[in-house]
Amino acid sequence: MNQLHQIEFQSPIGIVEITGTDKAIRSILFSEKSKVSAPISPESPQVLKDCQQQLEEYFKGQRMDFTVACESTGTDFQQKVWTALVDVPYAETVSYGAIAKAVGSEKAVRAVGNANSKNKLNIVVPCHRIIGATGKLTGYAGTLPRKEWLLRHEKACRENQSIEQ
C-alpha cells in the first residue's frame, strides 16, 4: 500500500486539505481547522505540490481545467457519475437528473446525489456544478455557501475572460 501524504493551504473559502500518494491525489476536502503542522514541505510528493498550485491558480481565476493525477475509490456507478461531473463545463451547471441521464440511469437521480456526496475530489471533480431540477442550489459536502461562492467565482472569471488556459 502506498504511503499517504497530506498538505493544506488557505483558500478564499477556507482550508483545503490535499491527501495523496507519491503518484496521485486521493482527496481534496475543505476543513474548518488546520490539522497539519506545516502547509507544505520539500518532502511532499510533487503531485501534491502540483495539485496545490493548480488549485491556487483556480482560485485566482487562472485555471479552468485540472491535469493533476487523481485516484478515487467507489462503486462502478459512482465512478460513472464522477466521470460525468468532470465533463460539466466550467461555470455551467446541470441537474442531478441530467447526470443520471448521462450515465444511462435516468431514474437514478437520488443515486446520483448520493454519489455526488461521496466525491472526495472537490473542485477537480466539480460536484459543486450540480443543482436541483428547479435550479436551486442543493446539497454540497463542502457547505452551500462554498458551493455558491464557487459558482459565482467561475461565472465572474468566465465573464471577465481572465482565465488563461
Per-residue model confidence as pLDDT tens for the chain (165 residues) = 578 999 999 999 999 999 999 999 999 999 887 665 555 556 889 999 999 999 999 999 999 999 999 999 999 999 999 999 999 999 999 999 999 999 999 999 999 999 999 999 999 999 999 998 888 887 776 788 999 999 999 999 988 864 443
Cα separation, 131 vs 98, whole angstroms: 10
Cα separation, 56 vs 51, whole angstroms: 9
pTM: 0.88
Domain ranges across the chain: 5-59, 76-160
What is the CATH topology of the domain spanning 76-160? Answer: Arc Repressor Mutant, subunit A (1.10.10)
Report the catalytic residues: 127
Q: Who's near 49: CB < 8 A, 6+ residues apart?
A: 7, 40
Q: Take residue 28 and report the three cell numbers written for it.
A: 481534496
